[in-house]
Copies of this chain bind each other. A is one copy, B any other.
Amino acid sequence: MDSIKENDYVLLYLDEKRKYLVKAEKGNKFHTHKGFILIDEIIGKRYGSSVKSSSGWDFLLLKPTIRDFIIKLARKTQIIYPKDAGYIALISGITSGSKVVEIGTGSGALTCVLASLVRPEGHVYSYEMREEFFNLAKLNIEKLGLSNYVTLKLKNAKEGIDEENVDSIVIDIADPWEVLENAYRSLRDSGIIVVFSPTVNQIEKTVRALREKNFVDIHVTEIIEREYQAEPEKLRPKTSMIAHTGYITWARKSVE
């Protein structure tokens, strides 16, 4: 049995459209369109069980995963999607113990995914030049309890990357080609660089710059998620979908 403890984050689930990420703070009330929920009533309950709202609706009490967090994080930018975050994680070779640089922290969603991969011994150094995002990301990373694995830097990576011998660098800024020279220097031999960008114009410039800067094994790819209605009698893709988030360009550092 796995029970909800004070200050845990809980995913209150009514249905696919109504899921809420809530901190179990004593004395609080959480308001939904289907009535409120008294937090004191959920502390001590089993995960996977349910609670009744004041209007009589049953909300399931689920234990949030990293996916739930990145979908529900406070955001000021386009958030990274699970489909892209999972793929980037895999191709970047980032794993427990990796030393990673991220350029363009944004709201910190991808930062959290990377941090969850490198722990307990690895570390993520994340560059963000806009103070507003720097502060937001800080809060988000704390929310997930990942602050020990991340150093946030309020700094423009074009002016220098401080870390050396880095395993992987993940870039999500509008002009990635501007930081490739610094990224090359910062990477370990054969290290991996990943660039996420929404337009084909950006890919064009990024690939050109990667070639010039001595990166090899250059890939450009796109991950598309197509969800289905989970109805056994009427099985079909959902009518509409997110058609595009961004392209993933990645390559490795050659030392020739």
Contact = CB atoms under 8 A, between A and B. Distances in A.
A191 to B, nearest CB: 8
Interface in A63-109: 63, 65-67, 82-83, 85-93, 95-96
A199 B92 contact: no
Contacts of A226: 221-222, 224, 243
A239 B241 CA distance: 9
A82 B219 CA distance: 14
Given A188-B2, A207-B232, A226-B221, A46 B200 contact: no
A90 B85 contact: yes
B216 A60 contact: yes
A256 interface: yes
B225 A221 contact: yes
A219 B230 contact: yes
Given A219-B230, A234-B199, A243-B240, A91 B86 contact: yes
Interface in A220-242: 220-242
Chain A, interface residues (CB within 8 Å), range: 35 or more
A200 B1 CA distance: 35
A217 interface: yes
Interface stretch (A22-30, A112-120, A123-131, A152-160): A112-120
Given A13-B216, A48-B252, A242-B239, A224 B221 contact: no
Contact of A254 (B60, B67, B88, B221): B60
B83 A87 contact: yes
Cβ-closest 6 pairs across A and B: A65-B93, A86-B86, A241-B243, A86-B90, A47-B190, A237-B244
21 contacts: A1-B189, A2-B190, A47-B189, A48-B189, A48-B254, A49-B256, A60-B254, A63-B189, A65-B192, A66-B95, A117-B117, A201-B235, A211-B232, A220-B228, A220-B235, A221-B225, A222-B228, A224-B224, A237-B244, A238-B244, A240-B242
